[in-house]
Structure 1
Amino acid sequence: MDSGGRGSRRGRGRRANRGGEDGDISLSKSMSYALRHGADQMGLQMGTAGDVERVVATNDKQRFKLRSHPEDGRLQIRANQGHSVQVMDLELKAVLAGSPDCPAEAVHGSYLRNWSSIQLQGLSRMRRTHIHLASGLPGEDGVISGMRRDCDLAVFIDVPRALADGIEFFRSENGVLLTPGDSEGKLLPKYFSRALRLRPTRSILPLQ
C-alpha cells in the first residue's frame, strides 16, 4: 500500500483519540487491519506519511515494513504477517529440517476457553494464510512477536516432526514462525509437544 507524500503533518499522531488511546497505537491497529485484510476493499488511502513512518520505526513487535517503489520512489508499506489475503512480495524464509535455525519447538498462544477444541481438533489457520508461532513465550529473550501478551494458553509444536510429515514452516522478518498447516490448514494434536496454562500460575496441561 502506498503511504503517500512525505511532507504531511509529521509528529501529530501522538495525540490521544476520543477513547484516550495514544494516536500511534490507534494508527498501528488501523494499519494492521488494513494491511492484513485488504485495504483495497476498504477504499483506504494513507496520506500521513510522517505518522506512518514513525509507527513503523517504533512498533515494538515490528509488524510492518516500508520500502520505496522501484519505479517512482513512492513509499509502500506492508504487514510482516497476519494476512487473510495473499501478499505476493511477503519476504519469508523457509525453515528447513536440520538447519541451524530450525527450532525444536515453537509456541502458539491462545486462550484456555479454546483448549478443549484445540486438544481434539488441533490448531487452525482459520481465515488467515498462516498459523502464527512464536520462538518462545512473551518476555523471553528475542521474543518480540508471534503471540498476544494476554494469552493464557501456550501450545508447543514439535517443529521437526511436522516438517518430517511435509508441513512447511517459514520465518518472517520479525522472527515469527508461520505455517499454512496441512492440506486442511491445520496442525493436528499429534504435533503438540506440550501445553501450558499461563495464568494465574503456570501449570502443565494434559495433551489427551
Structure 2
Amino acid sequence: MSAETQSKKKPAPRQRGHPRDLPEVRLSKSLSWLLRHGARTAGLQVRPDGYARVSDVLANAMFKDVTFLQLQEIVNRDQKNRYHLLFEPCPTPSTNSSDVWWIRANQGHSIKDISLDLQIISSASEIPLAVHGTTRKAWELIATQGLSRMKRNHVHLAQGVPGSGVLSGMRNSSQVLIFIDVQKAIDAGIKFYLSENGVVLTEGDANGVLGPQFFQRVEYADRTPIPGWEGSGPVERCEVEPMRIGVGGSRGLTTAIDRTLTEQVTDRTSTPKACSGDVLPL
C-alpha cells in the first residue's frame, strides 16, 4: 500500500466518552450513540421497531474487539436499563443457531421512523409523577419556551427524583426539577407514553414542545421551590409504583433468553449472525 493510499485511509472511529472514562463506560456510551443517533451515519440498518442486528453492531469498528458475551454484560449491567437484547427465531431454517439476536436502545432516539413498543398513559393516576431534570442555565430558556424534544423524538421524564430509587429518565446531576401536571396536559391533547425501562415520554404539542403552562411546580435539586413556580405545594409521590412495560425483569432479558444464550454461545469469540428481517433504508 502506497503512502498516498495510506494517507487517504479513513481513521477508525473513536469510542464515545472521555478518554479517562472506564473502558466499559466508553463502550456503553458508544453503544448508546450508535443505536439512538448514529445508525445511519455508521451504515447500520435498523428495523422500524429500533432493533439492529447484533452481528452488525459487533462488526462496527468501535466494537471490533467486543464479543457477544461482553455486549450482553453491557446490557445486563446498565443501571438505567437503556438497552434490550431480543432472541427472535428465524422463520426459515438456519445453519447457524445463533442467527437470531437483535439489540435496541429502549428510548432516546433521534433517528426518525423508529416506532418503539410504547404503552400509552391515559391518566395521571397510572404513574407516581413525571419530572424533568435540567440545568439552571437551561431553565432560563425553558421557563418561557417550555420543554422541547429538540432533535430527539420525545421529551424524557422520570417517575421520581434522584435518590428516590427511580433509575431512568433523569441525570443525577440535574440542578432543576420540573414537575409536570400530566393530567392537565393529557386533557389538552398531549400524549404521554411509557418506555420499556420506565421512562415517561411525550412528543409535546405540534411543535414538539411541552409548554410551561403544564409545569405544576419547579424546584432546585435540594427541593427548594423556585420563586414564582411554587405551584400549590410540594409535589409528593402518590401511592403508585413506578411502571415498566414488557418482559425480561429489571435487566431486560428473560430467563429463557439467558438460558438460550448459555446454550448457544460456547466461547467468547463467537459472533452471532442475525437472520434477515425488515430494516429501515439507510
TM-score range, shorter chain: 0.7 to 0.9
Give deviations 1:22-41, integer Å, cap 9, x for gaps.
Answer: 22211110011110013232
Q: Where do 1:59-78 residues align within 5 Å?
A: 59-71=78-90, 73-78=99-104
Higher gyration radius (CA): 2
Partner of residue 37, structure 2: 37
TM-score, normalised with respect to structure 2: 0.62
TM-score, normalised with respect to structure 1: 0.83
Q: Where do 1:48-197 residues align within 5 Å?
A: 48-71=67-90, 73-86=99-112, 88-97=114-123, 100-103=125-128, 105-141=129-165, 143-197=166-220
Higher strand share: 1
Large movers: runs of 4+ above 4 Å:
none
State the AA in 1 paired with 2:227: P
Q: Please give the root-mean-square deviation of Cα atoms over the aligned residues, in Å.
A: 2.0
| Percent identical | 42
Distance in 2, matches of 1:108 and 1:197, equals 12
Give deviations 1:133-160, integer Å, cap 9, x for gaps.
Answer: 001101203x011011111111110000
Q: Larger relative CO (CA 8 A, sep 6+): 1 or 2?
A: 2
Give deviations 1:164-183, integer Å, cap 9, x for gaps.
Answer: 01100000111100000000
Distance in 2, matches of 1:175 and 1:115, equals 24
> Offset of 1:202 from its aligned partner?
3.6
Q: What SS does the aligned partner of 2:132 have?
A: strand
State the AA in 1 paired with 2:171: R
Structure 2: 5+ residue stretches without partners: 1-16, 45-55, 59-66, 230-282
Distance in 2, matches of 1:87 and 1:144, equals 27
State the AA in 1 paired with 2:38: G
